[in-house]
C-alpha cells in the first residue's frame, strides 16, 4: 500500500520538476544526438520491479521514471555521467552510467524515510503528520479480491468499518457503519466523497476498476471539515488518473458462477411430510380429544389430506370422484399404520429449489487507457461492463461505466483537472420474499395441476404453465406461489452523470488557490407490472402496473486557498474556504389496476382507476471552513479545524451550526533519547483528537408544519399531518480519539485506538395529549454514545528474494448505550423480534420470554414465568407449561443484542516467484439473532419441515431433545413456533471471504509479443462459513444489523467462483 501511495506522489513530483533534455528546432522536438543511452531495470530487495522510480543525471534536469515493469531508458551526456536514483521509502543511490547499463539496479528500503501520502478532507497529508484516525485501502487491495462491487471489496479491510451484505442479489446495497450507530431515527450511513465532490448515487454503481484508493475517515479531526454531513464518518474515493509517460492500455476480464454460501436445510420429502402430519393428528386425537389408539389412527387417516387441501368433491373426466384435488392419485394416501400406502402415487414431483436457482454466468470486463499528451497533459479513459445474472432465475444486474479524466498544465502556475463519468445500470430484481422458497411445503407445486390430463394446466394466453396461488385448492400458503415472480416484470433503471472541473493556481510557492465545481445528475425509472395470472393482492384475474421515477440534480461549488510554509524546523499549513451545495429532486409515481390480458404491461391496457402523484424536494447547504496545521521538527504536530454550516432543513433561528476539532500527535521515536531503541522500535507515535461534527440527514422540512390531502364525505381538503417545530436543530456528535502507532523490526506495523462517540440532541418524537390533535412532535431529546476500540496489525513474517508472506489483521469492537430518551422506555417490534429502548441499554437490545426446554415426560415446551421486584429485577423463575403465562411483554427480559461485540478481518498474502496467493477471513462474534425461518420449519405441516427437526422430535417419555412433540392442529400447549429464546441464537461466525490465486507470466517472455504484463487468476468468494446460523441453513449476514431473519430477509449471500485475466500493453 505504501508503494502505491509513494508512486502517486513521485509521479506528480517528477512531472512538475523533471524534464527530458531536448531542443526545439523549427518547431520540432529532437533529442541530443551525442547523448549516451542508458537502459536497465530497478528492483526492490525482493526482486520486485519498482514503478515510478526517479533517475536524474546529476547536475542537470535531464531525467526519467521507471515504467510498470521497472524498466527505464535515459539519454545522458556521457558514459561517465552520474545518475541520482531515488524512490520514496527507499535509500537513494548515485551510480555511474556505464556501470549500470543493461543491468538490474536494486534499491534498499528506508523505513525512516518513508512518508506515505494519504487523501484527507480537501487535500492530502503525510501519514506521519496526520493526527486523525483514517484507514487507506488502495487499488492493489481491491484488484487482489476482484470484487463485483465496492461494498464486497471493503468488508474486513478497515478497522471500525462495519459492512453487512444482508442480500446476495446482484447489485444489492449493503449496510455501512463507521464506529457504530450515531443516531436513533436519522440515517446512519457515512458521507461518500468522490474526487472531492459529495456523491449521491449508489456506491455499488462505481466500478472497482476505476478506484485508485479509498480513505475511511473516522474521528472528528479527520471529518470535521465536512461539518454537518460528517456525523457518521466519511469515505473518500479517489479515482484513477493519467500518469506522465507513454500510453498504456490495461484490460481486465472476469467470468464466474455462483451458488449459495450456506446450504439450505435438508427438506423432508412430501411422503415424509404426510407421515409426520399423520403423527401430529394422531397426537391431537389422543392428547386433546380423548380418542383410543384405534380411533386416533382412523381420525388421522381421514384427515391427513384435509390438512393441506380444501374439499372440492370434483367429478373427473373419467367419471371418478375426488374429494381432494391433491398431489396424490387418491384421497387418502396414508394408511392406518401411518405409512404411505403401497398403491399411492404422487402425481408430480416438483423441486422448487432446483427449478428456482441455477448456476448462471457473471461477466465483468474493464479496459482503460492512460498516459501523457506531450509534457503538459495527462489523461485517463476507461470503460467497464458488468452482467451479473445471480443464481435466482429472473434476477439480473447490468452496469456500464464510462469515464474520462484530463489534467492540463497551462503554465508553471495554473493547472486544470477535468473528469466526467457516465453510469447506467439496470436491475431486474425479484420481489418474492425468500420465505416462499425456504418454507414453501414440498407437497405443493407452484403451478396448477390438471387432474383430467394428469399434467400441468396450459395457459391459453402464453401456452405455458399457469401459476397456482392456492386460493381455491390449498389450506396453507393461500395467495402464495414460489414462482410468482415469473409473471412479474420488475425493472429499475438508473442513469447518472458525475462530473468535476477544477483549477489549481499557485499564486506563490507557498500559497495555492483551488476553485472547483461538481455536478451530479441521476435519473431513475422504476417499472413493476403483475400479470392477471397472479393478480392484484394475489387474486387471479386482476393485474396491476406501477411506474415511478426520480430526477436528482446536485451542484457543488468550492473555493479553497492553502498556505503552506516551512521555516527552519517549523512547518505551517493553513486552509480556508467556502462551499455551496444544493440539490433538487423531482419525483413522480403512477399506478393502475385491472390489466385486461396476459402480456400487457402498460397502464393504458388496464381498466381500473389511475392513481398519480408528483412532488419535488430542495436542499441547500452553505459552508465556511478552515483548518490549521503546525509541526515542529517532524516531532510535534498540532491541528485544528472549524466549519460553520447553514442548512435549509432548519428554521432560520437554528439554521447555522458550528463544528470544530483539535488534534495533536507526538513522534516519540524521533526523540534523541529513543536512538538506542531505533534498531527494533522504528516508529512510535502517540495521537489525540477531540471535536464536534453534525448530522443534518433528517427530514427535509423538520421545522415546518405539514399538511396532507384528505377528504371528508367526498369533499376534498387538507389536514395537519405534522406540527411545526421551529426549535429543532442539528444532531451533534462529540468525538474523542486516542491512539498509538508503532513499527517494530522494520516489518511489524501496529495501530491501536480508543474512542468515544457521543451523539446528543437526537431528533425523536415526543408524546403529546391526543386532545391537541397529534400524538407527538419532533424534538432534540435523545442521546446515545458508542465506546469502542480498534486494533490493526500488518506483519511480514518472511520477505526474501523469491518468497514473501504478509499478514494483515484488524479487530474492532464497540458498546452502544442510550443515555437519554423522551420516555422511560419504548418497546419496538421488527417483524418477529422485540427490542426495548431504555436508558442504559442499546438500540438493539433483544427482549424475549425465557424458554426452559422440552419436558421429557410430555414432550411439551416449557418456559419460565418471571416475578420482578420494584426495580424490575428478576427475583423468581417459575417453570410453566402454559404459553399464556409468558406471552405478554411484561414477561420479556433482555437476552442479548444484535450488535456484535467484535468484528474484523485476517488477510494472508503469499508470493513465490511468479505465483501469488491470498485469502481473507471475516469474522464477527457476540451478536444474537432470532431465526423465524428456522422456527417455522419446525412444523411438520403447513411449511417445509427440515429433517433436523423431524429426526430430533420428542417421541416418547424420557427423550431429551429441543424439538417438542408434534401436533397438527392442537398445539396450544406445545406452541412450537412461539416467540421466545427457543429460536434465539449466537451469531458468531467465521467466513472465508476471499481466496485469490494468480500467476504472472514472465516479462521476458511477454516482451517478445509487445505485452507489458499478463496475470491469470482464480478468485473464490464466501467459500466457507462456520457458525451457528450456518448449521441452521441461515446465512449469518442475512441477519443484518437488526438481528432478525424474517419474511423479508434478502436472498442469501452468494458463493462465487471466477476466473480472469489482466493484460497490460
Residue with cell 450511513: 189
Structure confidence at residue 9 (pLDDT): 37
Structure confidence at residue 24 (pLDDT): 32
Examine the pLDDT at 467 and tell me if it is beyond 70: yes
> Is the distance from CB of 87 to CB of 106 less than 8 angstroms?
no
Residue with cell 525482493: 46
Mean predicted confidence (pLDDT) in 902-929: 94
Q: Is residue 583 part of a domain?
A: no
Q: Is residue 13 part of a domain?
A: yes
Mean predicted confidence (pLDDT) in 958-964: 92
Structure confidence at residue 538 (pLDDT): 47
- Written as nine digits, the cell of 1017 is 487468476
Structure confidence at residue 539 (pLDDT): 52
Examine the pLDDT at 812 and tell me if it is beyond 70: yes
CA angle at 641 for the pair 637 and 642, rounded to the nearest 5°? 165
Domain, as residue range, for 56: 2-111
Rounded distance between C-alpha atoms, residue 953 and residue 974, angstroms: 12
Structure confidence at residue 1049 (pLDDT): 56
Examine the pLDDT at 557 and tell me if it is beyond 70: yes
Structure confidence at residue 750 (pLDDT): 96
Examine the pLDDT at 2 and tell me if it is beyond 60: no
When pLDDT is cut at 50, 70 and 90, the band that residue 11 belongs to is very low
- Who has greater pLDDT, 246 or 450? 450
Mean predicted confidence (pLDDT) in 181-190: 86
Q: Is residue 10 part of a domain?
A: yes
Residue with cell 433503471: 493
SS3 674: helix
Mean predicted confidence (pLDDT) in 655-679: 94
Rounded distance between C-alpha atoms, residue 625 and residue 645, angstroms: 9
Structure confidence at residue 351 (pLDDT): 78
Structure confidence at residue 853 (pLDDT): 94
Mean predicted confidence (pLDDT) in 364-388: 92
Rounded distance between C-alpha atoms, residue 528 and residue 431, angstroms: 10
When pLDDT is cut at 50, 70 and 90, the band that residue 939 belongs to is low
Mean predicted confidence (pLDDT) in 581-605: 84
> Is the distance from CB of 933 to CB of 1049 less than 8 angstroms?
yes
- Who has greater pLDDT, 553 or 15? 553
Rounded distance between C-alpha atoms, residue 146 and residue 238, angstroms: 18
Structure confidence at residue 829 (pLDDT): 65
When pLDDT is cut at 50, 70 and 90, the band that residue 13 belongs to is very low
Any idea what the CATH number is for the domain that residue 54 is in? 2.60.40.1120
> Which region among 343-347, 488-492, 998-1002 has the lowest average model confidence (pLDDT)?
488-492
Tell me how far CA of residue 253 lies from CA of 553, 591, 914, in angstroms. Answer: 33, 41, 20
Examine the pLDDT at 31 and tell me if it is beyond 50: no
> Is the distance from CB of 849 to CB of 869 less than 8 angstroms?
no
Examine the pLDDT at 19 and tell me if it is beyond 60: no
Q: What is the CA radius of gyration of the chain?
A: 33
- Computed over every residue of the chain, the mean pLDDT equals 85
Q: Is residue 678 part of a domain?
A: no
Structure confidence at residue 788 (pLDDT): 96
Examine the pLDDT at 112 and tell me if it is beyond 70: no
Structure confidence at residue 50 (pLDDT): 82
Structure confidence at residue 876 (pLDDT): 92
Structure confidence at residue 552 (pLDDT): 96
Structure confidence at residue 32 (pLDDT): 40
**373 burial via Cβ count (<10 Å: 0-12, 13-18, 19+):** middle
When pLDDT is cut at 50, 70 and 90, the band that residue 646 belongs to is very high
DSSP string computed for 348-404: ----HHHHHB---EEEEEEEEEEEEETTTEEEEEEEEEEEE--SBTT-EEEEEEEEE
876-906 pLDDT, tens digit per residue, is 999 998 888 998 888 999 999 999 999 999 9
Examine the pLDDT at 335 and tell me if it is beyond 90: yes
The pTM score is 0.85
Q: Is residue 91 part of a domain?
A: yes
Q: Is residue 77 part of a domain?
A: yes
Structure confidence at residue 29 (pLDDT): 32
Name the phi and psi angles at 282, rounded to 5: -60, -45
Q: Is residue 104 part of a domain?
A: yes
User: Which range has highest mean pLDDT (57-61, 135-139, 594-598, 1050-1054)?
Assistant: 135-139
976-1005 pLDDT, tens digit per residue, is 888 899 989 999 999 999 999 999 998 888
Structure confidence at residue 43 (pLDDT): 85
When pLDDT is cut at 50, 70 and 90, the band that residue 195 belongs to is very high
Structure confidence at residue 702 (pLDDT): 79
When pLDDT is cut at 50, 70 and 90, the band that residue 113 belongs to is very low
- In 531-609, the DSSP E strands lie at 544-567, 570-593
β 134-138/984-986 pair status: unpaired
Examine the pLDDT at 668 and tell me if it is beyond 90: yes
Q: Is residue 87 part of a domain?
A: yes
- In 975-1053, the DSSP E strands lie at 984-986, 989-1000, 1013-1027, 1044-1045
Structure confidence at residue 18 (pLDDT): 32
| Helix (H) or strand (E) segment spanning residue 1004 | helix 1003-1006
When pLDDT is cut at 50, 70 and 90, the band that residue 35 belongs to is low
> Which region among 16-25, 89-98, 373-382, 1041-1050 has the lowest average model confidence (pLDDT)?
16-25
- Who has greater pLDDT, 112 or 833? 833
697-722 pLDDT, tens digit per residue, is 777 887 888 887 777 776 778 887 77
Buried b (16+ CB within 10 A) or exposed e, 101-133: eeeebbbebeeeebbbbbbbbbbebebbbbbbb
SS3 723: coil
> Is the distance from CB of 799 to CB of 820 less than 8 angstroms?
no
Structure confidence at residue 1050 (pLDDT): 66
Residue with cell 407452484: 446
248-292 pLDDT, tens digit per residue, is 899 999 999 998 888 877 788 889 889 999 999 999 999 999 999
Q: In the chain, how many domains are there?
A: 1
Examine the pLDDT at 680 and tell me if it is beyond 90: yes
User: Which range has highest mean pLDDT (64-78, 466-480, 550-564, 871-885)?
Assistant: 550-564
523-551 pLDDT, tens digit per residue, is 999 988 877 766 544 455 567 888 999 99
When pLDDT is cut at 50, 70 and 90, the band that residue 12 belongs to is very low
Structure confidence at residue 111 (pLDDT): 52
- Written as nine digits, the cell of 424 is 447506467
Q: Tell me what percent of the residues of the chain surpass a pLDDT of 70.
A: 90
- Who has greater pLDDT, 533 or 919? 919
Structure confidence at residue 733 (pLDDT): 92
Amino acid at each position: 500500500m505504501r508503494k502505491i501511495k509513494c508512486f502517486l506522489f513521485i509521479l506528480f513530483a517528477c512531472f512538475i520538476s523533471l524534464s527530458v533534455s531536448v531542443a526545439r528546432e523549427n518547431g520540432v522536438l529532437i533529442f541530443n544526438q551525442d547523448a549516451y543511452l542508458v537502459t536497465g531495470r530497478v528492483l526492490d530487495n525482493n526482486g520486485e520491479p519498482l514503478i515510478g522510480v526517479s533517475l536524474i543525471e546529476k547536475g542537470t534536469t535531464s531525467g526519467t521514471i521507471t515504467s510498470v515493469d521497472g524498466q527505464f531508458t535515459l539519454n545522458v551526456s556521457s558514459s561517465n555521467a552520474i545518475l541520482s536514483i531515488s524512490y520514496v521509502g527507499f535509500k537513494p543511490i548515485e551510480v555511474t552510467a556505464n556501470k549500470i547499463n543493461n543491468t538490474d539496479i536494486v534499491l534498499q528500503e528506508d523505513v525512516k524515510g518513508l512518508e506515505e501520502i494519504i487523501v484527507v478532507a480537501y487535500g492530502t497529508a503525510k501519514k506521519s503528520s496526520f493526527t486523525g484516525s483514517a484507514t487507506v485501502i488502495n487499488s492493489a487491495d481491491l484488484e487482489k479480491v476482484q470484487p463485483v462491487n465496492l461494498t464486497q471489496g471493503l468488508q474486513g479491510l478497515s478497522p471500525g468499518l462495519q459492512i453487512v451484505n444482508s442480500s446476495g442479489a446482484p447489485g444489492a446495497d449493503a449496510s455501512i457503519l463507521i464506529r457504530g450507530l450515531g443516531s436513533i431515527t436519522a440515517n446512519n450511513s457515512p458521507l461518500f466523497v468522490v474526487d472531492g465532490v459529495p456523491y449521491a448515487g449508489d456506491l455499488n454503481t462505481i466500478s472497482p476498476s476505476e478506484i485508485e484508493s479509498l480513505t475511511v475517515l473516522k474521528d472528528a479531526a479527520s471529518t470535521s471539515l465536512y461539518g454537518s454531513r460528517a456525523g457518521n464518518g466519511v469515505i473518500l474515493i479517489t479515482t484513477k488518473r493519467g500518469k506522465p509517460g507513454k500510453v498504456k492500455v490495461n484490460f481486465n476480464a472476469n467470468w464466474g458462477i455462483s451458488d449459495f454460501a450456506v446450504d439450505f436445510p435438508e427438506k423432508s420429502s412430501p411422503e415424509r411430510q404426510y407421515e409426520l402430519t399423520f403423527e401430529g393428528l394422531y397426537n391431537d386425537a389422543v392428547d386433546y380429544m380423548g380418542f383410543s389408539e384405534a380411533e386416533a389412527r382412523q381420525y388421522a387417516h381421514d384427515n391427513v389430506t384435509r390438512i393441506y387441501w380444501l374439499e372440492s368433491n370434483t367429478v373427473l373426466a373419467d367419471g371418478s370422484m375426488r374429494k381432494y384435488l391433491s398431489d396424490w392419485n387418491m384421497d387418502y394416501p396414508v394408511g392406518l399404520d401411518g405409512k404411505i400406502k403401497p398403491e399411492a402415487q404422487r402425481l408430480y414431483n416438483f423441486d422448487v429449489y432446483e427449478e428456482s436457482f441455477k448456476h448462471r454466468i457473471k461477466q465483468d470486463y474493464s479496459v482503460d487507457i492512460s498516459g501523457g499528451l506531450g509534457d503538459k497533459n495527462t489523461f485517463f479513459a476507461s470503460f467497464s461492463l458488468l452482467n451479473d445474472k445471480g443464481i435466482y432465475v429472473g434476477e439480473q444486474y447490468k452496469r456500464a461505466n464510462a469515464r474520462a479524466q484530463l489534467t492540463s498544465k497551462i503554465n508553471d502556475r495554473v493547472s486544470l483537472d477535468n473528469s466526467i463519468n457516465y453510469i447506467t445500470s439496470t436491475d431486474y430484481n425479484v420481489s418474492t420474499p425468500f420465505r416462499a422458497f425456504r418454507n414453501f411445503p414440498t407437497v405443493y407445486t407452484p403451478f396448477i395441476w390438471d387432474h383430467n390430463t394428469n399434467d400441468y394446466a396450459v395457459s391459453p394466453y402464453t401456452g405455458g404453465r399457469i401459476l397456482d396461488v392456492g386460493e381455491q385448492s390449498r389450506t396453507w400458503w393461500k395467495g402464495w406461489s414460489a414462482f410468482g415472480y415469473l409473471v412479474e416484470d420488475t425493472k429499475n433503471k438508473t442513469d447518472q452523470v458525475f462530473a468535476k472541473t477544477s483549477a489549481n493556481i499557485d499564486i506563490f510557492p507557498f500559497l495555492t488557490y483551488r476553485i472547483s465545481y461538481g455536478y451530479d445528475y441521476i435519473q431513475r425509472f422504476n417499472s413493476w407490472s403483475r400479470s392477471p395470472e397472479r393478480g392484484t393482492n394475489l387474486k387471479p384475474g386482476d393485474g396491476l402496473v406501477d411506474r415511478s421515477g426520480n430526477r436528482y440534480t446536485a451542484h457543488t461549488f468550492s473555493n479553497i486557498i492553502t498556505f503552506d510554509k516551512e521555516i527552519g524546523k517549523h512547518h505551517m499549513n493553513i486552509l480556508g474556504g467556502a462551499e455551496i451545495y444544493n440539490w433538487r429532486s423531482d419525483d413522480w409515481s403512477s399506478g393502475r389496476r385491472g390489466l385486461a390480458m396476459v402480456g400487457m404491461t402498460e397502464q393504458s391496457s388496464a381498466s381500473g382507476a389511475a392513481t398519480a402523484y408528483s412532488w419535488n424536494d430542495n436542499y441547500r447547504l452553505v459552508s465556511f471552513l478552515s483548518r490549521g496545521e503546525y509541526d515542529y521538527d517532524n516531532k510535534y504536530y498540532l491541528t485544528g479545524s472549524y466549519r460553520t454550516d447553514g442548512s435549509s432543513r432548519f428554521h432560520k433561528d437554528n439554521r447555522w451550526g458550528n463544528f470544530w476539532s483539535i488534534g495533536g500527535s507526538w513522534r516519540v521515536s524521533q526523540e534523541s533519547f529513543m536512538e538506542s531503541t531505533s534498531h527494533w522500535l522504528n516508529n512510535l507515535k502517540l495521537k489525540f483528537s477531540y471535536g464536534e461534527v453534525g448530522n443534518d440527514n433528517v427530514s427535509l422540512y423538520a421545522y415546518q408544519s405539514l399538511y396532507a390531502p384528505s377528504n371528508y364525505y367526498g369533499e376534498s381538503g387538507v389536514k395537519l399531518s405534522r406540527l411545526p417545530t421551529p426549535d429543532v436543530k442539528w444532531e451533534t456528535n462529540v468525538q474523542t480519539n486516542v491512539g498509538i502507532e508503532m513499527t517494530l523490526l522494520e516489518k511489524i506495523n501496529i495501530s491501536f485506538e480508543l474512542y468515544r462517540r457521543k451523539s446528543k440532541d437526537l431528533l425523536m418524537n415526543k408524546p403529546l395529549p391526543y386532545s391537541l390533535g397529534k400524538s407527538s412532535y419532533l424534538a432534540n431529546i435523545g442521546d446515545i454514545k458508542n465506546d469502542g476500540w480498534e486494533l490493526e496489525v500488518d506483519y511480514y513474517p518472511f520477505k526474501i528474494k523469491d518468497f514473501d508472506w504478509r499478514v494483515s489483521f484488524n479487530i474492532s469492537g464497540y458498546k452502544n448505550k442510550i443515555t437519554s430518551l423522551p420516555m422511560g422506555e419504548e418497546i419496538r417490534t421488527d417483524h418477529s423480534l422485540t427490542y426495548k429502548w431504555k436508558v442504559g441499554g442499546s438500540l438493539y437490545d433483544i427482549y424475549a420470554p425465557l424458554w426452559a426446554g422440552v419436558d421429557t415426560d410430555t414432550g411439551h415446551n416449557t418456559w419460565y414465568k418471571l416475578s420482578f421486584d420494584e426495580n424490575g429485577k428478576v427475583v423468581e423463575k417459575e417453570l410453566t407449561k402454559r404459553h399464556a403465562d409468558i406471552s405478554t411483554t411484561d414477561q420479556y427480559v433482555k437476552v442479548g443484542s444484535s450488535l456484535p461485540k467484535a468484528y474484523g478481518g485476517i488477510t494472508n498474502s503469499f508470493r513465490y516467484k511468479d505465483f501469488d496467493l491470498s485469502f481473507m477471513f471475516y469474522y464477527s462474534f457476540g451478536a444474537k439473532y432470532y431465526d423465524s425461518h428456522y422456527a417455522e420449519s419446525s412444523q411438520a405441516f403447513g411449511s417445509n419441515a427440515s429433517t433436523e427437526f423431524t429426526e430430533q422430535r420428542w417421541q416418547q417419555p424420557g427423550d431429551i431433545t429441543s424439538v417438542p412433540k408434534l401436533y397438527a392442529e392442537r398445539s396450544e400447549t406445545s406452541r412450537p413456533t412461539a416467540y421466545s429464546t427457543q429460536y434465539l441464537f449466537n451469531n458468531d461466525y467465521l467466513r472465508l471471504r476471499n481466496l485469490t490465486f494468480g500467476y504472472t507470466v514472465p516479462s521476458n517472455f511477454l516482451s517478445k509479443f509487445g505485452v507489458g504484463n499478463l496475470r491469470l487468476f482464480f478468485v473464490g468468494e464466501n467459500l466457507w462459513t462456520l457458525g451457528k446460523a450456518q448449521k441452521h441453513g441461515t446465512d449469518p449476514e442475512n441477519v443484518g444489523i437488526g438481528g432478525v431473519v424474517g419474511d423479508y430477509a434478502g436472498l442469501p449471500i452468494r458463493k462465487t467462483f471466477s476466473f480472469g485475466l489482466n493484460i497490460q500493453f
